[in-house]
């Protein structure tokens, strides 16, 4: 088994604990790599390296914005060359389909290129200030050391969403990947040096949330925390960061509604609902885990949905024919099965799946059968809590108002889907839905160009799109007297 090291100040080193964690392959249930178990001492060293790389005289700070952009472009090109190798690593580490991870890895370069392109377009403004004899302008400046904390489901994609804008804006980074899927991050680490980033601009510390994440979030020299993960962890991270008055971006969970009206193209809608929940084995924050179906088409829609979902092929995520892979972690596997049990106890009707998968093609992996519940009532836990697995609830609605009420009746607000042929209805729904992303007649589309983030408990701030770079900048207002006079010192100018 390959034994990895931490990246601190451009050097690979053993963790100060002298301990390593076994990274598990969810398809085989067996360990396949050893990941350093970092701790506070490693965090301190990494933050010190990132702080040194950010200091006024550093190579990084003296580099032009165009130079920073060129490094990001080079990094994007290196990721493109390494995409296949990194995609396979991610599949071994988190069990998601190779087809999905390959598509992500081939797309990740665009985040580095897009934000690389933005690096030298960060401009202040000259403000036509209302005070005579004064010139006022703004400067957009980096924040300093950014802590990037990422989850296990799309390790490199979600890291790229943070690293690309953070670096384009001129910050330095300490990156803590999930303890369940750190291998791709550690392999990615060497690309920073190959791209030409000065040592210490990006540091990587692996390990547990309480042993690495907490010391990182609370470190006095960390200026910003960019976090993706569950909303409970996000709440803790937010509270810890608040004590240090740090900048925070939170990308948290969801309970997204995929809403199908009776005028929709039903073939497309069935397809969209299946892709919303069973793609990636439901382990995406944008999973459309609640299908809201107009009552007049509910029985027909349910039958068509069940028929399509039953064809889903489970198996080895490295196999190109597989459509549904295992659950990434053992605790998550148990959590998904728990939710299925609770839904049954609360009276939801399990129309498909509803158990661990024992098909021969699933081997000894952590598989859960694609599961569909009907007769789900709004108060049930399955209708309200994020399962993060292949479990769909189908809920009928009567009219537009009813659909909006049910869709918005959640603490989350990450995404929603609307299936309709009516432009009026589509536009009205996009306005009324409380979600950071709304798809109409499609689902699960993302781009480096389009802002992504949550309403309500799904998060704070935006990743991707031109807005995202603002999350890594602070504005300085500069006032210059051009009057040459001495105004009354006892009156505010
Ligand atoms: P998680 O919250 O358990 O962990 C996320 C990261 O936080 C990990 O690196 C973990 O080690 C770290 N962490 C844990 N406790 C910490 C603490 N006390 N202080 C600092 N860091 C800590 O999430 P997960 O189980 O890895 O990922 C699944 C969750 O992520 C789901 O809820 C999902 O919806 C969410 N997610 C959101 C998005 C989005 O963009 N909105 C994308 C993907 C996943």
| The total number of residues written for the chain in this structure | 493
Give the up-direction half-sphere exposure of residue 355: CA atoms within 13 A in the CB hemisphere: 5
Contacts of 43 (CB under 8 A, 6+ apart): 174, 205, 212, 215, 216, 219
Task: Give distance in angstroms: CA of 300 to centre of ligand 1.
Answer: 37
pLDDT value at position 194? 97
Bridge partner list, 213:
none
Cα(257)–Cα(273) distance, rounded to whole angstroms? 10
Catalytic: which of 82, 285, 362, 369?
Answer: 285
Catalytic site residue 350?
Answer: no
Pocket of ligand 1 (CB under 6 A): 149-153, 158, 176, 178-179, 209-210, 213-214, 217, 228-230, 233, 236-237, 251-254, 285, 386, 388, 414, 454, 459
Active site residue 300: no
Distance CA 228, CA 98 (A): 22
Rounded to whole angstroms, the Cα distance separating 422 from 236 reads: 42
Cα angle vertex 449, ends 447, 451, to 5°? 85
Q: Which residue has a Cα nearest atom 15 of ligand 1?
A: 209
| Alpha-carbon span 435 to 445, nearest angstrom | 15
Tell how far the Cα of 230 is from the centroid of ligand 1, in angstroms: 4
Ligand 1 centroid from CA 81, angstroms:
28
Look at the block and give the residue holding tokens 């459509």: 323
The residue nearest atom 30 of ligand 1, judged by CA position, is 229
Which portions of the chain are predicted below pLDDT 70? Answer: none
Q: Which atom of ligand 1 is nearest to the CA of 217?
A: 20
Q: What integer pLDDT is reported at residue 358 of this predicted model?
A: 87
Q: Closest residue (by CA) to atom 39 of ligand 1?
A: 251
E strand segments, 315-362: 349-352
Among 54, 84, 60, CA closest to 72:
60
For residue 19, what pLDDT is reported?
98
Confidence at residue 481, expressed as pLDDT on a 0 to 100 scale: 96
Among residues 100, 187, 251, 471, the one annotated as catalytic is 251
* pTM above threshold 0.75: yes
- Parallel, antiparallel, or unpaired for β 134-142 and 473-481? antiparallel
Give the DSSP H/E element, type plus range, for residue 30: strand 30-36
Helix 423-432 vs helix 400-408: crossing angle, to nearest 10 = 30
User: From the CA of 234, how far away is ligand 1's center (Å)?
Assistant: 7
Query: Candidates 205, 229, 333: which one to mutate for ligand 1, based on the most atoms within 8 Å of Cβ?
Result: 229
Gap from CA of 442 to ligand 1 centroid (Å): 26
Place of tokens 């998550």: 332
Provide the pLDDT for residue 381.
Answer: 96
The Cα 304–Cα 271 span in angstroms is 10
Q: Which domains does the chain have, with CATH numbers?
A: 2-252+458-477 (3.40.605.10), 257-440 (3.40.309.10)
């Amino acid at each position: 088994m390959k034994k990895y090291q931490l990246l601190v100040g451009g050097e690979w080193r053993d963790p100060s604990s002298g301990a390593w964690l076994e990274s598990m392959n969810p398809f085989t249930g067996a360990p396949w790599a050893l990941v350093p178990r970092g701790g506070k001492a490693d965090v301190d060293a990494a933050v010190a390296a990132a702080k040194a790389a950010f200091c006024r005289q550093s190579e990084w700070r003296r580099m032009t914005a165009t130079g920073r952009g060129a490094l990001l472009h080079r990094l994007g090109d290196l990721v493109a060359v390494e995409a296949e190798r990194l995609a396979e690593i991610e599949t071994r580490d988190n069990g998601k389909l190779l087809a999905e991870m390959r598509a992500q890895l081939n797309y990740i370069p665009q985040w580095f290129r897009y934000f690389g392109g933005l690096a030298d377009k960060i401009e202040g403004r000259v403000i036509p200030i209302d005070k005579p004899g004064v010139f006022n302008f703004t400067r957009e400046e980096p924040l300093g050391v950014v802590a990037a904390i990422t989850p296990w489901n799309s390790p490199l994609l979600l890291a790229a969403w943070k690293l690309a804008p953070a670096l384009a804006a001129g910050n330095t980074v300490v990156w803590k990947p999930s303890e369940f899927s750190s291998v791709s991050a550690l392999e990615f680490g060497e690309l920073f040096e190959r791209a030409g980033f000065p040592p210490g601009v990006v540091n990587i510390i692996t390990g547990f949330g309480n042993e690495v994440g907490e010391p990182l979030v609370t470190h006095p020299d960390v200026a910003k925390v960019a976090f993706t993960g569950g909303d409970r962890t996000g709440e803790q991270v937010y509270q810890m960061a608040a004590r240090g008055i740090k900048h925070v971006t939170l990308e948290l969970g969801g309970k997204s509604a995929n809403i199908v009206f009776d005028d929709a193209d039903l073939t497309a809608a069935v397809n969209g609902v299946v892709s919303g929940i069973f793609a990636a084995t439901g382990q995406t924050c944008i999973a459309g885990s609640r299908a809201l179906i107009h009552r007049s088409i509910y029985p027909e829609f349910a039958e068509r949905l069940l028929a399509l979902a039953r064809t889903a092929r489970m198996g080895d995520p490295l196999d190109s024919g597989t459509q549904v892979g295992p659950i990434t972690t053992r605790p998550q596997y148990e959590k998904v099965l728990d939710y299925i049990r609770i839904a049954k106890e609360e009276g939801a009707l399990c129309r498909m799946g509803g158990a661990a998968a024992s098909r021969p093609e699933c081997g000894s992996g952590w598989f859960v059968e694609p599961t569909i519940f009907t007769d789900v009532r709004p108060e049930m836990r399955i209708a309200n809590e994020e399962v993060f697995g292949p479990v769909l609830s189908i809920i009928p609605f009567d009219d537009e108002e009813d659909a909006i009420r049910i869709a918005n009746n959640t603490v989350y607000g990450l995404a929603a889907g609307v299936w309709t042929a009516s432009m009026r209805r589509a536009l009205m729904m996009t306005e009324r839905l409380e979600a950071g992303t709304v798809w109409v007649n499609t689902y699960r589309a993302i781009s480096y160009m389009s802002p992504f983030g949550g309403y309500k408990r799904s998060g704070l701030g935006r990743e991707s799109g031109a807005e995202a770079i603002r999350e890594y900048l602070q504005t300085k207002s500069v006032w210059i007297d051009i009057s040459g006079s001495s105004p009354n010192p006892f009156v505010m100018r």
